Structure 1
Amino acid sequence: MAESADYVPIAEIACAPARARVFEQGWQSWSPTGCYPGDATSPRPSSAQIAASCFRFDRPLPESGFQGEGLIVIDPGDGGPVRAWSAEEHSAEVPSIRVRALADRLIVSSLGAVRETEHASLPSALVAWAEEVATGAGVREVRPLGPGWSSWYGHWNKVTEQDIADTLVHAERLELPLEIVQLDDGYQTAIGDWLDIRPGFGSLEAVAKRVTDTGRRAGIWLTPFFVAADSSVATEHPDWLVRGTPAMREWDSDIAVLDVTHPGAAEHLAGVFRSLVVTGFSFFKIDYIYAGAHPGGRHADVSGHEAYRAGMRIIRDAVGPDSTVLGCGAPMLPSAGLVDAMRVSPDTATVVHHKSGDVSQPSQHGARLAGAAREFMHGRMWVNDPDCLLVAPRVEDRAGWADHVASSGGWRCSSDRLADLDEWGAARTRELLTPSTGLA
């Protein structure tokens, strides 16, 4: 198959492709990432919607082979040097790098500027890349992150203030060393209206006070670049939305993207986060943030990449240096230096395999694959988030999933209804709720 005209051939590696190994870095948190035989094809999305939401929406994948975003590493499998191709400038637009197999060689091509380096092994190549990215992004220290609890998997979007109160009681009863209690999706009236509280939820102020009165940190979830079409923000300020973005539908709503280059939208975004800090929140899980890089018409003439970086800087400045920002559904390279912690896999689930077989979709299997492949980032670029610990009796292969969480040095965050834990689940949760470690 001929290479796309936009991709420029940059290298040929003489080898037996079946014996070679190719490490492919996915675009964002949920994108498949891993090491594969050189004659294989990396995982592909099972639908066009998933391609847009879990892969790189503006760079279609080839029918076969590989497409790394910002990084491809090849071990030829014959004792020759391991060769890596990565972005020349890690804060600039992320290049796509393709590999395709012929009978006796691998062909490497790129869309965007890349540079080549040689290494003694594939692990050393990955570590060198992570350290280089961190240095370029100004990451001086990756601070440990204390163990937490999230409302998501136990309460979904029906969470209430009382659920948080009950969790605090059960955490004391079970002697769980929680340092962070994070409220997830479900408190808001609409995506984008983060300070308008859903009837029946309770009070954000009361949640933050309940948590901080116990000496813990209060956390909260937002999708800061997503705006539901029926939200107050969208209906009252249509000029704050990016024009011409792909059609998206989540939470049973049509979804638009906030244009952070518009002065009014930028001040609104900063104001939301400043208000939440004043309320008492100091841990921010920001989700679906790939949306900030969507192409489209903006107030300022900038690329999606530049808009994303601008939006993340607004958030960082608003929450201040003492708060923690955890990225999820986040473009990996553009987030370096702008987040403290990073989801490095798709969501986990109570089941091992997703029914579609698509490893970008919520499942223990998909989360294990990408999480293990990206463990080298932990302690260098940020604190890895392998997703939440789930060990209640309803969870399929709960021991296996707990072992995966234990294998990561990253953030340990329970998300069971604590009242549902049996003796084994409570003991395993207590054992694993430790602070994140140093280098992987």
Structure 2
Amino acid sequence: MDPEVARVYEEGWQSWSPTSTYPVTQPPPRPATKWRRRGNYRPEIAAPAGAFQGEGLLAVDPGDGRPQRVFAAPDPLTVPSIRATLAADRLVIAANGPVTARTGGLGEWAGDFAGGYRPRTPPTAWCSWYHYFERVTEADIVENLAAIRKHALPVEVVQVDAGWQAAVGDWLALSNRFASLSGLAARIRDAGFRAGIWIAPFWVDGGSELFRDHPEWMITDSGGQPVSTGEHWGSGYAALDTTRPEAADHLRRVFGTLVDMGFDYFKIDFIYTAALAGTRHSGAPPLVAYRDAIGLVREAIGPDAYLLGCGAPILPSVGLFDAMRVSGDTDPRYEPGDGDLSQPSQRGATLSTVARSWQHGRFWVNDPDCLLARPSVERREEWAGVVERYGGLRASSDRVAELDDWGLSTTRRLLTEVPPPTPFP
């Protein structure tokens, strides 16, 4: 092929892994550190710096009128790494497992891969994360609940994000910033909204009571030590082995308790941890264990609850979720702090959101991450444009009191004009 016009689509491993289409002569983004690869890319298989590596999916457009070629995993449990290396005027494709090869577009391939799955219409939401982050308090939720009603914003779900829990892993104990989670859920519902909550069910803080009391519930490495999940909010995190009956029963209790409190919208995060390589009680392969773990969550919350995935292996998750984050976190800043496009930034979130737009309505409802419209957000008009064009799931994450006239009108408009769960054109 002609290297001047040929392009390669490289699918990342999970939600936060940069994904896009690149000229064959342009090296794609790679992790800034080993720890970044562990927590934001495919942890066990390092991608080469001078070649392309699609995780279960790689497409080649020769750019000269010949049809696109799609090289892909045969099913969600068999997801090889597929490499493309430029050698003069040839692009050499290789994989470490079985792949299918066909001509045509990604949307056509996706419809076949998903087996005709069609997601349901998503609710609109307000989320606490991008203003308060892990410092959120119960009073913050109550304040914004009142402000949403005051301004008649078309919000259906009020989602309590990270920070409500005593520790990651200790989901039945509250931080000292919350008095009563059940009381807060009731207050949200009494105000006319659905109650939503963030939880990272398979991710365990090494300082949590769960880890101290049950280290044997963790996925272990070849030396018998808990596998590390990467560097997020510091270090010292492990992965819960959901194939161990006691650990599975623990998660059923956690989700059952949240359902009994009145939550029926669940954002489950950092869920790549359930697919990490390591030793499990049952001996199940990682992707089998991962899909079984998501099935456990779905069973516990019931078929009517809305399930949003984040930090999730993309192809192994097909058919399991109502909605899926298809990018890294957005951020009030445009550029990532360390230049790694898997890190929070509007630039990184835009890159993957645009590239994965074909997944919307075929695999799930695409979540490009939250709308940020307050005046302090860099390039807020550009980010609002991305959410408007590509946002299947639409959620606001500003302190409502800090929105100016433009922010309020934009938030109201984008939460009103929600696209149906049909594939984007």
When the two structures are superposed, what TM-score results if normalisation uses the length of structure 1? Answer: 0.93
2:114 maps to a residue whose letter is A
8 Å Cα contact 2:36-2:231 kept in structure 1: no
Q: Does 1:130 align with 2:110?
A: yes
CA distance in 2, matches of 1:321, 1:251: 32
2:191 corresponds in structure 1 to 214
Aligned runs of 1:166-315 on 2, under 5 Å? Answer: 166-244=143-221, 245-246=227-228, 248-252=230-234, 254-315=236-297
The structural deviation recorded for 1:298 is 1.1
CA distance in 1, matches of 2:85, 2:173: 50
8 Å Cα contact 2:71-2:99 kept in structure 1: yes
Bigger mean CA deviation after superposition, 368-377 or 74-83: 74-83
2:155 maps to a residue whose letter is L
CA distance in 1, matches of 2:398, 2:49: 40
The structural deviation recorded for 1:355 is 3.0
CA distance in 1, matches of 2:266, 2:243: 22
CA distance in 1, matches of 2:391, 2:30: 28
The structural deviation recorded for 1:221 is 0.5
The structural deviation recorded for 1:354 is 1.4
8 Å Cα contact 1:412-1:436 kept in structure 2: no
2:393 to 399, 408, 411: 411
Q: Does 1:402 align with 2:384?
A: yes
Question: SS in structure 2 opposite 1:416?
Answer: coil
Aligned runs of 1:27-426 on 2, under 5 Å? Answer: 27-88=13-74, 90-119=75-104, 125-135=105-115, 139=117, 141-244=118-221, 245-246=227-228, 248-252=230-234, 254-426=236-408
Question: Structure 2: where are the runs of 5+ without partners?
Answer: 222-226
8 Å Cα contact 2:36-2:230 kept in structure 1: no
Question: Structure 1: where are the runs of 5+ without partners?
Answer: 1-14, 120-124
CA distance in 1, matches of 2:231, 2:415: 35
Residues 409 and 101 of structure 1: CA distance in aligned 2, closer, same or farther (over 3 Å) = same
1:371 maps to a residue whose letter is T
8 Å Cα contact 1:344-1:386 kept in structure 2: yes
The structural deviation recorded for 1:349 is 0.7
CA distance in 2, matches of 1:219, 1:267: 22
Question: SS in structure 2 opposite 1:272?
Answer: helix
The structural deviation recorded for 1:191 is 0.5
2:413 corresponds in structure 1 to 431
CA distance in 1, matches of 2:123, 2:321: 16
1:122 corresponds in structure 2 to none
8 Å Cα contact 1:31-1:360 kept in structure 2: yes
CA distance in 2, matches of 1:157, 1:436: 30
After superposition, give the CA deviation of every residue in 1:318-349 in whole Å (9 maximum; x if it has no partner). 01110011000100011111111000000011
8 Å Cα contact 2:229-2:273 kept in structure 1: no
CA distance in 1, matches of 2:177, 2:97: 50
After superposition, give the CA deviation of every residue in 1:24-71 in whole Å (9 maximum; x if it has no partner). 111100001111111221111111111111100011111211000111
Question: SS in structure 2 opposite 1:181?
Answer: strand
CA distance in 2, matches of 1:81, 1:249: 41
8 Å Cα contact 1:39-1:65 kept in structure 2: no
Bigger mean CA deviation after superposition, 396-405 or 156-165: 156-165
2:224 corresponds in structure 1 to none
Aligned runs of 1:5-44 on 2, under 5 Å? Answer: 15-44=1-30
The structural deviation recorded for 1:112 is 0.7
2:135 maps to a residue whose letter is K
Question: SS in structure 2 opposite 1:215?
Answer: coil
8 Å Cα contact 1:100-1:107 kept in structure 2: yes
8 Å Cα contact 2:111-2:362 kept in structure 1: yes
The structural deviation recorded for 1:360 is 1.0
Question: SS in structure 2 opposite 1:63?
Answer: coil
1:97 maps to a residue whose letter is I
The structural deviation recorded for 1:417 is 0.5
Identical-residue share of aligned pairs (%): 47
The structural deviation recorded for 1:224 is 0.7
CA distance in 2, matches of 1:163, 1:129: 44
When the two structures are superposed, what TM-score results if normalisation uses the length of structure 2? Answer: 0.96
8 Å Cα contact 1:26-1:33 kept in structure 2: yes
Question: SS in structure 2 opposite 1:144?
Answer: coil
Bigger mean CA deviation after superposition, 210-219 or 248-257: 248-257
The alignment yields a C-alpha RMSD, in angstroms, of 1.2
Question: SS in structure 2 opposite 1:156?
Answer: helix
Question: SS in structure 2 opposite 1:196?
Answer: strand
